[in-house]
């Protein structure tokens, strides 16, 4: 039978929009289905996304070769996407890691240095005696060493990047359908996608719904992921603080464990006209298995206990923030059982999945979207794209 589209991508977030853009250069007959960001988050009762923000750290410095490669490939295309779309989203201010001297070759920093050499990244090692002098906004342990990636690093505006991807996808012939997909069904000869009062058909479908991939009937079987709560804290920055933090790079301060790392975004202007410095961590244990529970979380201000924890750390690391107004917001992180994103077919040869950011994928979203597009168009991923590592695991 004739289908409405050759390919449908479900999810208008960072990976889904990127997949639509890349696929538009490989094939015709493509639709991207997903709702816009809700105007009033606290009264919205549909699905959400985690890119509703103005800043995410971008870097190639990473202790894992696959993740470092994904980031490097995406970074190489940032300026082209900006130029073609007319939308700016990348600030190349650099990224600083600060932490204790590595104890062995398996420590994160030594692994990241090895990966950086393979990727050709330029990482400057800064001795403890120079770290506080060079980056005076940061009051870290006097024994900490710095690792500074000046080029191919900084921060991106995730909202703006999604707008740029969607604009280019539309220019490439992709049909943008502003709706929420509630079911995907392989009917043998094709796939049917239901969105409220409409039904669309396609030869193949890519489900790129992030942490909401399991919350509707989008997959034959749920993917094995944990959708975890994350709280972020915003310090409102005035003229005095701008003099201290205005030139800072994106910053990651390492703890004793990888989940104890703290990330800090430089001051960024937000839609309310105010400038905020943002920070967050990776220690919360709350997870969601139902759409209703995730919705309650996204309508909240995050965890008060985590906000207080992050504020204590913020004032230890950046005493100049004392007295600044503080707010918090919710986010989620979607962790896979493998530690890699899932990009592969489900039990249906016509339904594929692209999900699992593992709290580090915003910077790599364009490359992960490209891999999702390749999977739909060609049916498989090659070893050069880490295809084996990206095989989905199902519950």
Each residue of 157-195: pLDDT tens digit? 999 999 999 999 999 999 999 999 999 999 999 999 999
| SS3 of the chain | CCCCEEEEEECCCHHHHHHHHHHHCCCCCEEEECCCCCCCHHHCCCCCCCCCCCCEEECCCCCCHHHHHHHHHHHCCHHHHHHHHCCCCEECCCEEEEECCCCCCCCHHHHHHHHHHHHCCCEEEECHHHHHHHCCCCCCCCCCEEEEECCCCEEECHHHHHHHHHHHHHHCCCEEECCCCCEEEECCCCEEEEECCEEEEEEEEEECCHHHCCCCECCCCCECEEEEEEEEEEEECCHHHHHHHCCCCEEEECCCCHHHCEEEEEEEECCCCCEEEEEECCCCCCEECCHHHHHHHHCCCCCHHHHHHHHHHHHHHCHHHCCCCEEEEEEEEEEECCCCCEEEECCCCCEEEEECCCCCCHHHHHHHHHHHHHHHHHCCCCHHHCCCCCCCCEC
Query: The domain that contains 173 carries what CATH number?
Result: 3.50.50.60
Question: For the chain, how many structural domains are there in total?
Answer: 2
Euclidean distance between CA atoms 258 and 210, whole angstroms: 23
Residue 62 falls within a domain, yes or no? no
Is 313 inside any structural domain? yes
pTM, whole model, 2 decimals?
A: 0.97
pLDDT in tens, the chain (395 residues): 689 999 999 999 999 999 999 999 999 999 999 999 999 999 999 999 989 999 999 999 999 999 999 999 999 999 999 999 999 999 999 999 999 988 888 899 999 999 999 999 999 999 999 999 999 999 999 999 999 999 999 999 999 999 999 999 999 999 999 999 999 999 999 999 999 889 999 999 999 999 999 999 999 999 999 999 999 999 999 999 999 999 999 999 998 766 678 999 999 999 999 999 999 998 889 999 999 999 999 999 999 999 999 999 999 999 999 999 999 999 999 999 999 999 999 999 999 999 999 999 999 999 999 999 999 999 999 999 999 999 999 99
Distances (CA, A) of 185 to 278, 322, 386: 41, 54, 28
Q: 374 near 228, Cβ under 8 Å? A: no
Has residue 107 been placed in a domain?
yes
Does residue 240 share a domain with residue 149? yes
Are residue 206 and residue 304 in the same domain, yes or no? no
Residue 22 lies in a domain: yes
Whether residue 26 is contained in a domain is answered as yes
Domain containing 268: what range? 92-157+226-336
Evaluate whether residue 393 is within a structural domain.
no
Residues 175 and 261 in one domain: no
Return the pLDDT at 258. Answer: 64
Residue 320 lies in a domain: yes
Distance CA 392, CA 220 (A): 13
For residues 276 and 326, membership in a common domain is answered with: yes
Triad 184, 188, 194: Cα angle to 5°: 20
Q: Is residue 203 part of a domain?
A: yes
CA angle 197, 203, 208 (to 5 degrees): 70
Q: Could you tell me if 254 and 153 lie in one domain?
A: yes
> 119 and 172 in one domain?
no
- Asked if residue 171 and residue 143 are part of one domain, the reply reads no
172 and 203 housed in the same domain = yes
pLDDT digits (tens, 9 = 90+) for 311-350: 999 999 999 999 999 999 999 999 999 999 999 999 999 9
Q: What pLDDT score was predicted for residue 105?
A: 83
User: What CATH code is carried by the domain that includes residue 283?
Assistant: 3.30.9.10
CB atoms within 10 A of CB 143: 10
């Amino acid at each position: 039978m004739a289908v409405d589209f050759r390919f449908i991508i479900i999810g208008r977030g960072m990976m889904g929009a990127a997949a639509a853009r890349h696929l538009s250069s490989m094939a015709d007959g493509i639709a991207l289905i997903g709702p816009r960001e809700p105007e009033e988050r606290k009264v919205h009762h549909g699905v959400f996304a985690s890119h509703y923000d103005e800043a995410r750290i971008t870097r190639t410095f990473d202790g894992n070769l696959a993740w470092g490669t994904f980031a490097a490939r995406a970074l190489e295309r940032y300026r082209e996407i900006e130029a073609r779309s007319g939308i700016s989203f990348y600030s190349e201010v650099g990224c600083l890691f600060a932490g204790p001297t590595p104890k062995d070759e398996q420590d994160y920093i030594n692994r990241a240095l090895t990966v950086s050499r393979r990727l050709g990244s330029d990482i400057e090692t800064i001795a403890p005696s120079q770290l506080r002098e060079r980056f005076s906004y940061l009051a870290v342990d006097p024994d900490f060493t710095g690792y500074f990636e000046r080029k191919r690093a900084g921060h991106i505006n995730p909202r703006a990047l999604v707008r740029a991807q969607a604009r280019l996808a539309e220019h490439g012939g992709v049909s943008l359908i502003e709706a929420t997909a509630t079911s995907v069904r392989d009917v043998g000869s094709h796939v049917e996608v239901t969105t409220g009062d409409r039904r669309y058909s396609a030869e193949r479908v890519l489900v790129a719904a992030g942490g909401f991939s399991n919350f509707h009937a989008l997959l034959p079987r749920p993917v094995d992921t944990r959708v975890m709560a994350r709280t972020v804290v915003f310090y409102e920055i005035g003229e005095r603080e701008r003099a201290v933090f205005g030139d800072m790079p994106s910053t990651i301060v390492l703890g004793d464990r990888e989940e104890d790392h703290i990330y800090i975004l430089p001051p960024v202007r937000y839609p309310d006209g105010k400038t905020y410095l943002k920070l967050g961590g990776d220690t919360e244990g709350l997870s969601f298995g139902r759409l209703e529970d995730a919705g309650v979380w996204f309508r909240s201000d995050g965890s008060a206990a985590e906000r207080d924890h992050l504020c204590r750390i913020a004032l230890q690391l950046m005493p100049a923030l004392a007295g600044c107004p503080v707010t918090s917001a919710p986010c989620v992180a979607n962790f896979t059982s493998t530690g890699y994103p899932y990009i592969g077919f489900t039990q249906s040869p016509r339904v594929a999945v692209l999900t699992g950011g593992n709290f580090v994928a915003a910077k790599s979203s364009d490359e992960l979207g490209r891999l999702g597009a390749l999977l739909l168009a060609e049916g498989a991923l090659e070893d050069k794209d880490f295809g084996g590592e990206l095989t989905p695991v199902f519950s």
